[in-house]
Chain A
Amino acid sequence: MVAGLVQRAMDGDDLAFSSLVDQEGDLCFGVAYRILRDVTWAEDAVQQAFLVAWRELPRLRDPERFGPWLHRLLVNACYEELRRHRRWSGRVRSLPADGPGGDDPTISVDDRDALDRAFARLTPAHRAVFVLHHYAGLPLAEVADAVGAPVGTVKSRLHHAARTLRAALLADSQVESLEERPA
């Protein structure tokens, strides 16, 4: 069904493309938000990825490859957003559209803070690999396709990202346990 929509969009059918946006937009936005940690930047990245997709669709050789191709465009758009905003990221922060209501109360503020900070220290490539695999659920081969790197490199980045984030949580818990220890 998706291949049929892609084929129609390749032939210039903007309604078919609109249906593809409906089908793929949420996942793309979820991925972009988690890589960029900013709602506005994520919207911009998704918009840019879909715009390039629309423009370049006629050059796509295999409609079945639309998903991996779109993911690659999205990752590149996220990298571009990070490059564009890197200089100002410490200065201006956007607000999450969903607000704090989306936060899971079972995660402590300290854990969330530790993870946010550790994630911000990861390179864009490490962030992308981690999000595509653990959030979007893409197998390693598809992640490799999306980020344009060999599977071995993807495994290594995934390992590094997970280790960094776990270490941040463990460091946070050690501080907590020290604080809880009776004097």
Chain B
Amino acid sequence: MSTRRDPDDILATWLEEGPTRLPHTARRAIVVDARTTRQSRRAWRAPWRFTDMNPAARIALAIMAAAFVVGGTVFALGRSAQVAAPTTPSAPTTAPAPSSGPASPDATPCVASTLGASSALTDPACSFESDQLTPRVSFSGAPGLRRISENARHLELGVTTTGSSAATGQVVVIALVDAARTPCDPKWADAPVLDTVPWRPSTAAGGPAAFMDILATTPVPMDTPVPVTIDGHAGLETVLRPVAGDLAECGGFVAFADILTSRAGIGEGIVMRLAAVDVDGTTVLVERAADAAAFDAASDALESVAGTIRFP
């Protein structure tokens, strides 16, 4: 007969598990940030407190202040209208309308690292080139495009559409170097290292077709792979649509590859259009993914970004 520990003990122990020390690299990055970032100016105004005033005086002062602001604004607007009246209106600016389509061939070259995770690209007339991922990848901008992360194995772009059907999705390019040995394995949720096999298209076990064959052995519902080319590189493409419960036997997640800091794969509730193409000996995965509820709304924007991908 086994005795069971008190749930609160287990909870407390579980909460204590995990890292407790800020990694040195992060600590160093914070200090460097501080050295290179200007501080805000000290607030010049007095604290917003009227501790010595009675309520009636506070209200009277507030009314006077409001009247002063309104009066001053009316006066300033009146003066600026008098000054502006004689001038000739300038011609309207002919700024290009935002487009979600591919940028023109003469788009300004930009380095991908200049596209931040939190600062979305607003100017679509800009083409980017990865600075870490191998093989090199270039892509053109679309409004709402963000670079979420990049390393030698993957480049992850976020795309947020605007308008009534606003949606968010991602385009991910992955160099398949170390593939998951057994993609459907529930231990991936806790294992410190993804169990991988080297992936080389030159061997019998490699290449886009072999990748799709492995995917077909998992419980992920997938469309029949169809031929595709990306920037002239041939491969296969499918759509994956695992819903809740589909991946229960895999711990809710099917792993594709080790991308150094994380593992790439698909979880339940995600729709992913996934292409695997051969780029000069490397199997490259191009994912367009979003939450199932948002995929249709985001699809056009995702495809427009993916359509600009080149392997220079």
Contacts and interface: CB of A to CB of B under 8 A. Distances in A.
Contacts of B265: 91-92
Nearest to A173: B4
B79 interface: no
Interface string B7-31: 1101111111111111101110111
Contacts of A65: none
A119 B169 CA distance: 25
Nearest to B41: A58
Interface string B193-208: 1000000000000000
Contact of B40 (A58, A95, A134, A170): A58
Interface stretch (B54-62, B226-234, B267-275): B267-275
Contacts of B22: 21, 25-26, 28-29, 43, 46
Given A50-B34, A88-B170, A93 B189 contact: yes
A60 to B, nearest CB: 10
Contacts of A170: 7
Contacts of A22: 27
B15 A104 contact: no
Contacts of A18: 31, 34
Contacts of B269: 90
A96 interface: yes
B19 A96 contact: yes
A57 interface: yes
Nearest to B38: A55
B128 to A, nearest CB: 20
Contact of A112 (B14, B25, B40, B270): B14
Contacts of B23: 29, 39, 43, 97
Nearest to A115: B14
B12 A134 contact: yes
Contacts, number: 179
Contacts of A106: 5, 13
Nearest to B259: A92
A91 B190 contact: no
A84 interface: yes
Contacts of B264: 91-92
B252 interface: yes
B117 interface: yes
Interface string B253-278: 10000010111111111101000000
A46 B19 CA distance: 14
Nearest to B251: A113
Given A46-B30, A58-B40, A106-B5, A29 B11 contact: no
A97 B40 CA distance: 34
Contacts of B31: 14, 17-18, 21
Interface string A21-59: 110011011100110000110110011001100111111
A54 B34 contact: yes
A102 interface: yes
8 contacts: A29-B22, A30-B18, A30-B19, A47-B30, A51-B33, A54-B33, A93-B188, A131-B15
Given A88-B148, A95-B193, A115-B10, 14 more contacts: A14-B31, A25-B27, A46-B30, A50-B30, A51-B30, A57-B39, A87-B294, A90-B253, A90-B269, A92-B262, A92-B264, A92-B265, A93-B188, A106-B5
Interface of A: 10, 12, 14, 17-18, 21-22, 25-26, 28-30, 33-34, 39-40, 42-43, 46-47, 50-51, 54-59, 61, 84, 87-100, 102-104, 106-107, 109, 111-113, 115-116, 131, 134-135, 162, 165-166, 169-170, 173, 180
Interface of B: 2, 4-5, 7-8, 10-23, 25-27, 29-31, 33-35, 37-43, 47, 117-118, 148, 156, 168-170, 188-193, 252-253, 259, 261-270, 272, 289-291, 294
Q: Sorted from nearest, which 10 A-B pairs have the closest CB atoms? A: A90-B267, A29-B22, A25-B22, A99-B192, A58-B42, A43-B26, A98-B19, A169-B7, A54-B34, A50-B30
